[in-house]
């Protein structure tokens, strides 16, 4: 799982029929300090997140699992909203 922030949504009137009724979000991956990493990308929303929320997501085949038994063509899917990230300081020797 990785961290991202929702930066928008995607509207597609023509799409695979299995995507009908599913929300497609525009995400920006972020690091542990909430700094942007890489390019924005589209992901399905399995939990109903809002705009600007920090989320965690999965990619690859696992992105379609929340929609089983329906087969959905997905490479990325939001699985939850992040309340807080706690990073343990490095131990100095």
The string of pLDDT tens digits covering residues 24-40 is 999 999 998 899 999 99
Other beta carbons within 10 angstroms of residue 45's beta carbon come to 20
Q: Please state, in angstroms and rounded to a whole number, the distance separating the CA atoms of residues 75 and 46.
A: 13
pLDDT of residue 90: 74
Instruction: Write down the mean pLDDT value for the chain.
Output: 93
pTM, rounded to two decimals: 0.86
pLDDT of residue 87: 84
With beta carbons less than 8 A apart as the criterion, state whether 64 and 71 touch. Answer: yes
Domains in the chain with CATH codes: 2-81 (2.40.50.220)
58: left (phi over 0), alpha (psi -120 to 50) or beta: beta
pLDDT of residue 7: 97
């Amino acid at each position: 799982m990785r961290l991202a922030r929702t930066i928008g949504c995607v509207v597609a009137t023509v799409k695979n029929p299995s995507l009908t009724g599913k929300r497609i979000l525009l995400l920006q991956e972020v690091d542990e300090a909430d700094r942007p990493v890489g390019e924005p990308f589209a992901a399905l929303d399995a939990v109903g997140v809002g705009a600007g929320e920090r989320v965690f997501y999965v990619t690859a085949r696992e992105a379609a699992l929340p929609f089983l038994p329906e087969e959905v063509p997905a490479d990325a899917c939001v699985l939850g909203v992040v309340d807080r990230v706690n990073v343990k300081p490095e131990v100095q020797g």
